[in-house]
Structure 1
């Protein structure tokens, strides 16, 4: 239980810090030459970022965080892992206030405190991971859901601008949620079992769909709206499936405490949604940051990602 909790929190620290490191790399790589106009992805900017240790370090933290997330999903309930991943936004906000000079107001520091308090309550009330391995119908259901997320994303991309980012972010969150559930439905990593388990393909399709939708959301709309939609999509559904289909439980008599902690962690993360891209949208992030010589630079480009 303790190892699973530490891995869940460690993955949140890795993901949250990686987002800021990638934002720093984007600022340093942005020469202001106007490339990639129209709000799309600037391939030259990405290539320059990939040559920097900040960006490579961020990718390394992403990989480490994903590994710890996999371990956590094998040891603790899904709802605890989901809340910890949402809490990575609190890590991003704190690290961004240091590296990117993004100013956190009193309300935002309060939101960080709320996230920490929620996680504390949740950790105190969490029981052991459920031993249910899921039915064949649930395994096929995750694969079908992953395909539907991919198809729905194509539709969401055609929505009016105001709703597009939130819809794409929600779709990305649902994709990440499918991955979270599907990992629990893979009992072992034997080659034959992996190849014949629909959940294996749900991980691949759901993860690819989620990354594609989130990247599109950040390119075409508000980072805040996209991140808020993603947090909602990746937390509530998997938590309910873990409880009702996979046997995740709380400590005896502490179900109410667990629910309160979960809601506090998620709501606090939503209040910090503007930091979903390493400090994007903050009052100070429009002018704060660092370059090679320590001088301040402009706002980060949307190059960060959300690991599975």
Structure 2
């Protein structure tokens, strides 16, 4: 659980550092996406953010190999709370009382999950599950293609949900990877599902943040990357809670996800102009 929380801190902090670097790159002159990205890569904050993303992924993998998927998914959704707090500090983004309360709600939900979570399930799941993950990746890509024909709000929700499902594939695939030898990695469908699911998720998330409402897209992302993987972990991978604390785990999961949804506007790196749009205090 410590690794899951460390991953959330890394991802949430990386978002803000990359926001600062991207804003500085945009201020140095005009240019297209490639030019802006090149200037951002010359900013130490952007590189630090990328390093934190990499470190966060390592923590995520360690967490997924140690605790139930439902606990890790809720903790990763909590990275929005980290982004909100760090943005309030470094970017001077003004948080409303409701948003500060949401940060507290996320922390409370994670505390309940930490108390109730059992050990990682020791079941490998049915043999078809690995191939089903590859099918899920294809479904994610089809969902992304179909989302382009929807109106803005529906498009953002569909793309965000598809991105969340892609990240959910990554969470489940990490648990299904058995051997680390070259032959085992090359012949394991879960490895390909992990790589393709992550790539599809980043592609759809980028499109969602560029072409629709950040809040709506992030809400879909949070739901997609938490609910379905948690159910798979419980039903097929043997994830359980501590004896008699199943109700507490369900409550903690629901509370943490609800708090993350309340902070969904922080799914995209916040900018300074948003400081006055946080709502009434």
User: Unpaired runs of 5+ in structure 1?
Assistant: 37-41, 288-308
Matched, 1:224 2:215: yes
Q: Which residue of 1 aligns with 2:8?
A: 12
Q: Deviations over 1:170-226 (max 9, x none)?
A: 100000001110111112212111111111110111111101000011111111111
- Cα distance in 2 for residues equivalent to 1:50 and 1:73: 30
Q: Which residue pairs with 1:123 in the alignment?
A: 114
How many positions carry a matched residue from both structures? 278
TM-score by length of 1: 0.87
Is 1:252–2:243 an aligned residue pair? yes
The CA deviation at 1:151 is 1.9
RMSD (Å), alpha carbons: 1.6
Query: d(CA) in 2 for partners of 1:55 and 1:243?
Result: 37
Matches within 5 A, 1:100-115: 100-115=91-106
Gaps (5+ residues) in structure 2? none
Query: Are 1:25 and 2:21 counterparts?
Result: yes
Partner of 1:299: none
**Structure 2 residue 143 is matched with structure 1 residue 148:** no
After TM superposition, the score normalised by the length of structure 2 is 0.95
- 1:136 lines up with 2:127 in the alignment: yes
Residue of structure 2 in register with 1:186 after alignment: 177
C-alpha distance in 2, partners of 1:282/1:275?
Answer: 13
The 8 Å contact of residues 279 and 285 in structure 1, kept in 2 or not, is answered as no
1:48 to 39, 62, 73: 39
Return the alpha-carbon distance in structure 1 between the equivalents of residues 248 and 153 of structure 2: 36
Instruction: Please tell me whether the aligned partners of residues 147 and 205 of structure 1 are also in contact (alpha carbons under 8 angstroms).
Output: no
Change (3 A) 1:280 1:155: farther
- Which has the larger share of helix? 2
Work out the CA distance in 2 between the residues paired with 1:73 and 1:159.
35
Between the aligned partners of 1:17 and 1:34, the Cα distance in structure 2 is: 27
Distance (whole Å) between structure 1 residues aligned to residue 37 and residue 232 of structure 2: 37
Q: Which moved more, 1:68-77 or 1:273-282?
A: 273-282
**Would the aligned equivalents of 1:101 and 1:285 in 2 still touch at CA under 8 Å?**
no
C-alpha contact 2:140 2:162 (8 A) present in aligned 1: yes
- Which runs of 4 or more aligned residues in structure 1 lie more than 6 Å from their structure 2 counterparts after TM superposition? none
Question: 235, 242, 262: which is aligned to 2:233?
Answer: 242
2:91, 2:271 within 8 Å by CA — same for their partners in 1?
A: no
Give 1:18 deviation, angstroms: 0.2
Distance in structure 1 (CA, Å) of the matches to 2:100 and 2:238: 35
Give the structure 2 partner of residue 63 of structure 1. Answer: 54
Deviation at 1:162, TM superposition (A): 2.2
**Other structure's SS at 1:284 match:** helix
In the aligned structure 2, how far is the partner of 1:261 from the partner of 1:133? 26
| SS of corresponding position for 2:65 | helix
Query: By how many angstroms is 1:157 displaced?
Result: 2.0
